[in-house]
Amino acid sequence: MAQRLFFGVDVGGTFTKIALVDEKSRLLAKSKFSSEGFSNKAFFAKTLRANILSILSEHKLALRHLKGIGIGLPGPVDFDKGIVLSLTNIKGWNRFPLSAYLRRYFSVPVFIDNDANCMGLAESRLGAARGTSYALCLTLGTGVGGALILDRQIYRSSYFLSAEVGHIPVVLDGPKCSCGGRGCLERFVGNRALLSAARRVFKKDMSLEEVSCLAAKGDLRALKIWRDAGNIIGLAVSGVLNVFNPEIVVIGGGVAEAGDALFASIRRTVTCHAMEQLKKYVKVKKAALGNDAGVLGAALLAKEQVGIRV
């Protein structure tokens, strides 16, 4: 049987990552390139095509073996129609039919989804949630993204805004959020908020990696930053658990690298606020696939949409 290949694409505001996988979900190659200039859609398409062809050539693989492309985007998309609904980091893509546009360049099916959904799909199939049917996956970074896996399928909802855990209100009349609401989780545990908290505590600019290192050494000020973040994440997670009853909560992204100080606090808060029956069996785990989760999930998206399951 001829080899069947799939590319995953993870579009970020600064860099775009691509990965090549085969029909058995094995990662064959990966690369990344600058996202600069992607407001020009033709430039994006040509850059993506050039990088895909380069990887195929490097591995002596033919374009005819490519069966689909999946793309994860940092914003809401209409999955059914392949339309980007809005992107904050790349101008000019709102309401754009990206799937149909890119198909002209590749002559294979192109599927798009929110990047957190791609991360959740990868962790469900290959990572920390493998073997489960119901999972909540969070990615903690500049913002807070979420994906719900229900009966092994991504739950997208009527308006493609499901699992926006970062926009759960956790403080009444809290600071205004970019979503238009107030007191959202993201306003307290997104990178910017955590860096501001570190600046207040240490009276100087610090990276989150430095805060994590201090916490690992037992610095009480750093530990408090992560414990406070874990408390508020755990509160939001508890609400989702009580509604959807997943078997596992998987947490990834840069903030998850804080480790035990963060996760112990999340688990403790979940134990306090989740329903009694849930806290007995639900697990809270760190994501297993790291920085590859989004791009692998995008490739799996394409693979499953053309009918090949893990």
pLDDT at 285 over 50: yes
Provide the H-helix boundaries in 126-274.
186-189, 191-202, 208-216, 220-244, 260-273
- Residues 82, 185, single domain; the answer is no
Asked, for residue 124, whether it belongs to a domain, the answer is no
- Residues 136, 283, single domain; the answer is yes
Asked, for residue 126, whether it belongs to a domain, the answer is no
Tens-digit pLDDT profile for residues 143-159? 999 999 999 999 998 88
Q: What is the CATH number of the domain that holds 18?
A: 3.30.420.40
Asked, for residue 200, whether it belongs to a domain, the answer is yes
Asked, for residue 216, whether it belongs to a domain, the answer is yes
pLDDT at 280 over 90: no
Asked, for residue 123, whether it belongs to a domain, the answer is no
Q: What is the DSSP letter of 160?
A: S
Name 22's Cβ contacts closer than 8 Å, sequence gap at least 6: 3, 4, 5, 6, 28
- Residues 255, 214, single domain; the answer is yes
- Residues 109, 162, single domain; the answer is no
Give the H/E segment covering residue 29: strand 27-34
- pTM for this model (two decimals): 0.94
pLDDT confidence tier of residue 1, bands split at 50, 70 and 90: very low
- Residues 204, 276, single domain; the answer is yes
Mean of per-residue pLDDT scores for the chain: 94
Tens-digit pLDDT profile for residues 256-277? 999 999 999 999 999 999 999 8
The catalytic residues are 115
- Residues 211, 238, single domain; the answer is yes
- Residues 18, 114, single domain; the answer is yes
Q: How high is the pLDDT of residue 202?
A: 96
- Residues 180, 281, single domain; the answer is yes
- Residues 109, 177, single domain; the answer is no
Asked, for residue 60, whether it belongs to a domain, the answer is yes
Domain extent, residue 167, equals: 131-288
- Residues 113, 226, single domain; the answer is no
When pLDDT is averaged across residues 66-74 and rounded to a whole number, the result is 96
Asked, for residue 299, whether it belongs to a domain, the answer is yes
169 contacts 239 by C-beta, under 8 angstroms:
no
- Residues 135, 282, single domain; the answer is yes
- Residues 205, 266, single domain; the answer is yes
Asked, for residue 247, whether it belongs to a domain, the answer is yes
Instruction: Report d(CA 303, CA 309) in Å as an integer.
Output: 7
Q: Domain count of the chain?
A: 2
